[in-house]
Structure 1
Amino acid sequence: MSEVDEEELEEVSCELFQKPLSCAPRSLSCVEEDFFMLVSEGKVWNVKRLVHCHTKGCGSVGFDVNCVNFEYSNAMSIAVENGNVEMVKYLFKLTSASKYCTLLKAIHIGDVEMVVFLCEKMRADCDVSQQGEDQDFLENLSPLVVAAMNGHFEIIGYLIERGHSINEPHNPECFCEKCHQTLRYSDPLELAIRTWRTYSAMSNPSYFVYITCDPIHYAFKIHRRLIKLSRIESSFNQRYEELARKIREFAACFAGQCKCLREMELILKKRNTPKEKLTKVYQGEYPRLLMAIDYDQVEFVCNPKVQIALQQKFFGTFEDFAYFSNTTKFFYPFVRILTIPTSYFSFLLHPTSKTATFYASPVNRMLHFMASYVIFLFMLFFESRRDKSVSRKCLVTSFWGKAIFAYFCGWFGGVVSVFINMRPGRFFHDKWNLYDVVTLTMFGLTMAFGIASVVHSKMPCIPGVDRKYWASLDPQLMAEGCFVVANILAYMKLLNFLEVHKVIGPAVVALFHIMKAVLKYAVVSACVLLVYSTAFSNFYSYYSGMSYVDRSANETSFQEESFIDWISSFKTFFWIISRRTEVPAADVIVQNNIVRHLFTQTIGYIALGSFTLIMIGLLMNILVVSMTQTFPSKPYDLQKSWIYARSTIYLYFMHFPVMPPPFNLLPQFYTVRYLREKSYFEKRCKEEDLCDYIKLMNILAERYFNTMKNRGDEKCTSKRHFKTKTRIIAPKTRCRSI
């Protein structure tokens, strides 16, 4: 090897094995170690003497006052962590450390006096560009965001008074030009983290009690925003769900600070729309409770104090019903069949009497509706037993059919009344309202097809033939089919009434949870079924109709109609779920058994076996989920779901007419009185004084933070407080909405 090659090899080896650069800070000198030790001790005079001893003639210090230790902490950071304000004041002039990072660290610790000093020195609001590099904080992190994330109440108020604010991100579904540019040119990870930190600050109660006069309304709206973000930001969905959970708990805990029924009613009666819009939107007796239902605030609705106020309004003067036994409550609607005429004449002749007021309470509306609905179910039973030998007969032509039609009209009027009292979004938010709409639609189709059948039979071109000669889509057949479906839906509505029962209600709620879980697995099963049915369609089509005669046993075997076409394949795999498909369904029969197609038959058996195993696994998972939903690990969750479902029923009958179907179609003076009160609702709202509500919010906020301070669950106050007396709440004249 030549000398030139050896020199090149040495250069390459030197490049490969050169000493790597270390990311650790340099070692401190003895003077710098003494400097850090004196700063940690907190004696300013000793630090000054050390600096004075090492000051050169030109005025510069003989060591690096901005040095960092192995933890990347400088002297200013140590002084801030120790809470030594005097040391921070001295080092503020001595060192050139980032003042912005120092302010953020002081805010993070929660030292109010130090934050006030730094803000005064830095003069009002701080520019983000002054932040510098710091490993503890991200870029573009404002002081108010840090204070709000840590829940330092006094610091938040101080920063807001100095003009600090949080730039609220746009709606997650916003596609404006600014959002488009941000998504296009920003780093995705940095944007996601910054968005989460911003919402973490905005969702802290210590922050939004300063910027709004209605913390409950703000909590509802930001909760919906967090739920949207949890669905969009899949990587941070658990963090957003955790923030949403804390917001729900805050709204419930905040309302739970009420100490009397008057305070709770003042919250529940708070209007949600501006006064000039009240003529278009009627919000009922408890608008805030309806709003909680709209925003799915389960914890707020299930709060015991909210439930006491709701039950007080629901039972009215019939408070004894709450103390009846469960058996008495179950059979009491049958007794109320006899009181329906009495209540009607009370509303008709003397609507202002105590009897009319008693029967107008929501609990009596519910009991009368149940009583009339029981009669309606008996009418459906007798109508379903009608003789089918009569060729053409419309539902409304029979006696029971006319009674059913009258009840249908009254029920439809009641649903329309509830729809008018509630806005469409709120009406269709309840699953039972959708159920009523579907049930009424099926009854309407039954009557429409019945009338079409009678008209169809009277046409001169249509002969009066027997039923067996009718077309498959004959109006009479379609009317009878719709009537059967309507019957099923009508009887299943009994589950809605059973949800109110204290013992049976939780079981009904658990049933709905089971159905939701089963529906998910049903979708998976349907996908697997479609895959197998499509793959094996026409697989045995050649063997259709073939047979084999076994002369020794004198038996004839025919080819099964299993994989002949798509329909037969679908039926074969579908009936495997209920074990109706037998093993010979996969056999291949060749005419006269000339040759046995074993490979094709093996593929058929593998298909049946694999599909059976998949279905068994899915059914076992459904069984496990059903047991989990019926017997949950936390019975409180099931109880809470039942209370929420019962509350929706209570609110429904608060908006329902005072008379049940079909008596609500008859004239009554109480309805006139109800409409008159509704027309003057705006006038009453204008006369309300919102000062009481704002004062109540201040009182509840003070109670809430005192409760959190005693529990130690939340940083409701800073570590060091103002020396001057400051108000705990500074209510604003207007609310900032999300």
Structure 2
Amino acid sequence: MENDEDKDLEASISRKTLIMPKLPSALTVEEKRFLLAVERGDLPNVRRMLQKAHRKKTNLDINCVDSFGRGAMTIAIDQENLEMVELLIIMGVDTKDSLLHAINVEFVEAVELLLEHEELIHKEGELYSWQKVDINTAMFMPDLTPLILAAHRNNYEILKLLLDRGATVPLPHDVKCGCDECIMKSEQDSLRHSLSRLNEYKALASPSLIALSSSDPLLTAFQLSWELRGLAFAEPESKSEYMDLRQQCQQFAVDLLQQTRSSQELAIILNHDPDNPPYQEGEHMKLARLELAIQYKQKKFVAHPNIQQLLAALWYEGVPGFRRKKAKDKIMIIVRVAVLFPFYCMLYMLAPETKIGKLMRKPFMKFLVHASSYLFFLLLLILVSLRADDLLLEHFGSESMKAYVKDKYDKQRGNPPTILEYAVLLYVVGFIFEETQEIFVEGMQSYLRNLWNFIDFTRNVLYSGVIVLRVVSYLQQQAEIEKDPATAYIHREEWDAFDPQLIAEGLFAAANIFSALKLVHLFSINPHLGPLQISLGRMVIDIVKFFFIYTLVLFAFACGLNQLLWYFSDLEKKKCYHLPNGEPDFDGAPDACMKWRRFAK
């Protein structure tokens, strides 16, 4: 039996014998002396040995390698001996992947020399020297080209040499690409295919390569950073590598910004737009490049002190020195704008070219006016909810006004909108116009990217539903009152559950919640409440995730418990309600079985 098992084992081993790569043979004494002379930089002895080898007066293999797989060319490059490298090339030593090795150790002179040699010996349609190396003994992956490796090392001089000779980095295919080439490579070796894409993006993210090859380095860094963010989620196995490359691109953009030496240079960079004429000093700043950075979520770039200083100068342009004023003076300015904002708005619409009209165009003043207007809108909502106009007439009106209010309370159906409700309607129309204009100017994609727009859109939809339902309810109730005047005095408790006016009031309450939620967005300007808003947002997201998992577990537990109860209920029924002969016996069931039956129900 043991002999049979040994035979089977030997047979299985023979079937699974691996094809080992062809390893270099042991060095002769002459070859050891040759490599030692190369390592020591002994040019005369190396030249003499190579000449003897060419005359075949010795058994020296000029392409021999030591136990570490290093040939004479590799050793000379490690020693940074340019004369030795030149001698070896002249004497016909195979360069193999020496160019890649020279790039890897950043030996610029040797790279230039090997490039010139490669241009002389390379023939169109054939492989390059570094591509002919056996993949089993090669030091570098077959997908690594000289330009990709130089980009990995971020060596500006070597990259310049390669780009001047026409070298390019192949654009990687999309991670979801389904072309024949990608499918074939993925089926042959999925790991190699993934590493090849990672190596290409490592090269593309090189700051030196971006600076040398891109006409708009900032835009390239933004776009590549955003693309790497998508790759990090598409390939979670390499997420850390892609996120590191993304941070590298973001840091490159910040480093470029760090080179600005004046506000004029900074303004030219931030207002650069390839589709429009260059920015001239004194023009209105559109900050196109800054908007692009926000769109691509370049947090480090936007938070840079240079940009923040420029934004602060633009923000307080209408009120110079506002940050240096005393707290009392700041409060007085804010209160004055908040109280007089209707006057400022009317003046801007009627005389925009006046001093105050031009002041309204400044960012800080626009924010104060907008915030004051929105706070006034919330005050209107509170007054509408409290029926403030009716309370005012009831307490301070004449007898006829009080009688009108009493009749209005008795006749709750078919009442027209109040003055305050008309004011809210005017605001809602303005909100809808504002959101429509924003979609038209910025585009739907940019509009949907801002999550606060979802709140505004929901608020506007709810208010629109309130308006439609109020109109429908008014027309419907007026028609019913004309047929039977007594229907005007039906109490709310007796109304139909789906009366349009009741539904409209529910939607109005929901819309008020979304309106009040927009206050959080206004608080983001505060240095203390702004970060708190971000923390609260992340906390809410975590709570939603936990609630989803909790609901899922609770549902699974409920389903399992229900199945368990049915199972034991069936067993108890068979045990309690059947006689030994299999016939049912409901009358003779014991008390315990009856209790279980009630529990199961």
Into which bin does the TM-score normalised by the smaller protein fall? 0.7 to 0.9
SS in 2 for 1:166: coil
Task: Give 1:418-567 correspondences, 5 Å limit.
Answer: 418-460=438-480, 465-536=490-561
In the alignment, is the contact (CA less than 8 A) between 1:103 and 1:115 conserved in 2? yes
Q: Does 1:79 align with 2:100?
A: no
What's 1:70 paired with? 67
Does structure 1 residue 155 correspond to structure 2 residue 152? no
Tell me what 1:114 maps to. 110
Q: Superposed, which structure 2 residues align to 1:340-489 within 5 Å?
A: 340-386=341-387, 391-392=412-413, 397-460=417-480, 465-489=490-514
Q: Secondary structure at the match of 2:286?
A: coil
Q: 1:382, CA displacement in angstroms?
A: 1.5
RMSD: 3.6
Compute the displacement of 1:298 (Å): 0.9
Q: Deviations over 1:190-242 (max 9, x none)?
A: 11111110110011011021111110011111112211211212211111111
Q: Following TM superposition, by how much is the alpha carbon of 1:402 offset from its aligned partner in structure 2, in angstroms? A: 1.1
Mapped partners of 2:96, 2:326: distance in 1: 67
Quote the Cα distance in structure 2 between the aligned partners of 1:458 and 1:124.
97
Q: Distance in 1 between matches of 2:314 and 2:443?
A: 21
Cα deviation digits, residues 158-200 of structure 1 (max 9, x gap): 111111111112333444x455555565421111111110110
Render the CA deviation track for 1:457-507: whole Å, top value 9, x for unaligned: 233489554333333332122111111111111112111111111222222
Alignment of 1:145 onto 2:148: yes
- 1:94-147 deviation per Cα after TM superposition (whole angstroms, max 9, x unaligned): 4543x2401111111112211111111111796655321353211132111111
**C-alpha contact 1:326 1:501 (8 A) present in aligned 2:** no
Q: Which amino acid aligns with 1:33?
A: K
Deviations 1:336-361 (A, max 9, x none): 22232442354245422332221211
Instruction: Note the C-alpha offset of 1:62.
Output: 1.9
Mapping of 1:509-658 within 5 angstroms?
Answer: 509-536=534-561, 595-597=594-596
Pick the aligned partner of 1:202 from 204, 207, 210. 204
> What CA deviation, in whole Å up to 9, does each residue of 1:608-657 have, x standing for no partner?
xxxxxxxxxxxxxxxxxxxxxxxxxxxxxxxxxxxxxxxxxxxxxxxxxx
Question: 2:173 aligned with 1:170, yes or no?
Answer: yes
> Taking structure 1 as reference, are residues 537 and 357 closer, same or farther at Cα in structure 2, changes over 3 Å only?
farther
Change (3 A) 1:591 1:514: farther
State the one-letter code of the partner of 1:221.
Answer: Q
Q: How does 1:332-343 map to 2 (within 5 A)?
A: 333-343=334-344
Give the % identical residues: 23
* 1:4-52 per-position Cα deviation (integer Å, ceiling 9, x unaligned): x99x99xx79x99xx9989875443333222222111112112223445
Determine if contact 1:333/1:370 at 8 Å carries over to the other structure: no
**Counterpart contact for 1:292–1:300, Cα < 8 Å:** yes
Deviations 1:506-544 (A, max 9, x none): 22221112112222222212222332344445987999x
Asked if the contact 1:219–1:251 (Cα under 8 Å) also holds between the matched residues in 2, the reply is: yes
| Structure 1 Cα separation of the partners of residues 566 and 498 of structure 2 | 31
Distance 1:520 1:372 in 2: 36
The 3-state SS of whatever aligns with 2:142 is: coil
Is 1:48 the counterpart of 2:47? The answer is yes
Which is helix-richer, 1 or 2?
Answer: 2
Q: Deviations over 1:262-305 (max 9, x none)?
A: 11111111115478xxxxxxx97111111111111111111111
Structure 2: segments with no counterpart, 5+ residues: 278-283, 391-408, 569-588
Check whether the contact 2:250–2:300 (CA below 8 A) recurs between aligned residues: yes
* 1:135 partnered with 2:134: no
Structure 1, unpaired ranges of 5+: 276-282, 544-589, 605-738
Amino acid corresponding to residue 462 of structure 2 in structure 1: M
Aligned-partner Cα distance in 2 for 1:167–1:256: 30
Read off the aligned partner of 1:101 and give its amino acid letter.
D
Structure with more relative contact order (C-alpha pairs < 8 Å, separation 6 or more): 1
Render the CA deviation track for 1:631-689: whole Å, top value 9, x for unaligned: xxxxxxxxxxxxxxxxxxxxxxxxxxxxxxxxxxxxxxxxxxxxxxxxxxxxxxxxxxx
- Find the aligned partners of 1:485 and 1:469 in 2 and give their Cα distance: 23
**Larger CA Rg, structure 1 vs 2:** 2
Cα pair distance change 1:436/1:509, threshold 3 Å: same
Q: CA deviation at 1:93?
A: 4.0
8 A contact 2:73–2:93 mirrored in 1: no
Which residue identity lines up with residue 234 of structure 2 in the other structure? I
Deviation at 1:326, TM superposition (A): 7.3
Distance 1:196 1:335, change over 3 A: same
Quote the Cα distance in structure 2 between the aligned partners of 1:542 and 1:145.
66
For 1:329 and 1:210, the matched residues in 2 are separated by: 49
Residue of structure 2 aligned with 1:270, choices 269, 272, 279: 272
Cα distance between partner residues in 1 of 2:93 and 2:525? 69
Distance 1:591 1:211 in 2: 90
Alpha-carbon distance change, 325 to 146 in structure 1, aligned in 2, over 3 angstroms: farther
